[in-house]
Chains A and B, each alone.
Chain A
Amino acid sequence: MTSFASKRLAKELSKLKNGLPPGIDLISADNFEEWLMDIRVLDDNPIYRGEVYRLKFRFSPQYPIEPPEVTFIKQSDRPIPTHPHIYSNGIICLDLLGSQGWSPVQNVETVCMSLQSMLTGNSKNERPPGDEEFVRSNRKRPRDIDFYYDDNTV
């Protein structure tokens, strides 16, 4: 039901405009299909220090029953963060964003916070195994990819 998603997103937006946690900024939310957010880590993690990363949220009419599609997008001043669960094309492998791990009580703000802490807690300056091959061959939308969430240590 379309109005379900747009009503919820309208309310999320008014909450976001009232203030966001440090390191998370709303860049654009002109409609209820696609929003852009910026995140940065708050500590001195050398992998991410001084960088800001841009996230693109795409919502289906079934949001929040269905998860949003969340990817990092690259711009001249917005690189794709290096992380063992983030492919160099911006696709994120995080159970929270998969249809199994998603919960409708999550929202844009909590997703941003999860990604922020996923970066903060990371010490491996590397891409997922098979990154090059994946980026070259993948034509699927993130939600249609079967990731294995086997490694919960990173």
Chain B
Amino acid sequence: MSEAKALQLKAEGNRCFQQGDYVGAEGFYSKAIIANPKNAIFYTNRANARLKLQLWDAAISDCHEALALAEKNMKAEFYLSQALLPLGDYDGAVQAAMRAHRLCVESGERERASLSAITALVLRCKKERWDHKEKTRKREGQYFEEEMVGLLSREKAKAVEGAEGEGEKRELASEWDAKISELRNVFEKSRAKDEQRREVPDWAIDDISFGIMVDPVITKTGKSYERASIMEHLHRHPSDPLTREPLVPSELRPNLALKQACEEFLDENGWAVDW
């Protein structure tokens, strides 16, 4: 089949996609791939349709096909990340989202419109990774608490059994009960501490999106913004948001130290994505 035929099938697929017919779109993209298996766009388009259909594994294999055809493929990384996330591969999702982000930045103005969505995806992946870690940690904490309480209860039973006389038994029982309640207290206090450490430092916040910064860039005035936000602003208005002096994207510099600080903060405080 001809290349033209394949492109026509892709166009049909796009039409279905636009109308929300993702099953139809998936079918046309599959036909396009049969007609020409060497066009990466057919795979990324099908991956997007499969994301809508929640066919995560199938979407992942499409992304891998696309990446095998062309290594630097922003869309393939973007969709790959979104498919890995619901499967619980949080590290993979974060890494794919960050590769998509880097490719997007390298493409400059051409992909400016995608930068906000990709930045948001990086944050979402990090948030979900943190949520998952927290859940695991909390569950382990609970198991540990129950295990410890069980241990103390057994010790208590042993001690009470070995004691002579009702008076001594009662005394020992209340001693051990006090120990158990103290142990519960200690766990409870550490849980309460978790709840209250919810303060987002201003230095991590982008003054345009009010979100935690993923890729802070610094302007001549020394102020840093999220790259996606300031690029959106400069597209409309090539001026510094604070001073209104002329400012163009090529004058922005990555703020690497701040980027690292934000990353470290977010690793410990994933909740801050939705502060």
Contacts and interface: CB of A to CB of B under 8 A. Distances in A.
B120 interface: yes
B233 A65 contact: yes
B242 A14 contact: no
Contacts of A4: 116, 209, 232
Given A1-B116, A7-B211, A64-B208, A103 B236 contact: no
Given A8-B210, A11-B211, A105 B241 contact: yes
B4 interface: no
Contacts of A11: 210-211, 275
B263 interface: no
A1 B208 CA distance: 14
B210 A7 contact: yes
Interface in B61-112: none
Interface in A8-37: 8, 11-12, 14
Given A3-B120, A11-B275, A14-B275, A104 B210 contact: no
Interface of B: 116-117, 120, 207-211, 229, 232-233, 236, 241-242, 244, 275
Contacts, number: 37
A103 B229 contact: no
Nearest to A101: B244
Interface residues of A, number: 14
Contacts of B229: 104
B275 A103 contact: no
30 contacts: A1-B116, A3-B120, A4-B116, A4-B209, A4-B232, A7-B120, A7-B209, A7-B210, A7-B211, A8-B208, A8-B210, A8-B211, A11-B275, A12-B210, A14-B275, A64-B208, A65-B208, A65-B232, A65-B233, A66-B236, A103-B241, A103-B242, A104-B208, A104-B229, A104-B233, A104-B241, A105-B207, A105-B208, A105-B241, A105-B242
A13 to B, nearest CB: 10
Nearest to B200: A11
A104 to B, nearest CB: 4
B236 A65 contact: yes
Residue from the set B210, B236, B244 with the largest chain A CB neighbour count within 10 Å: B210
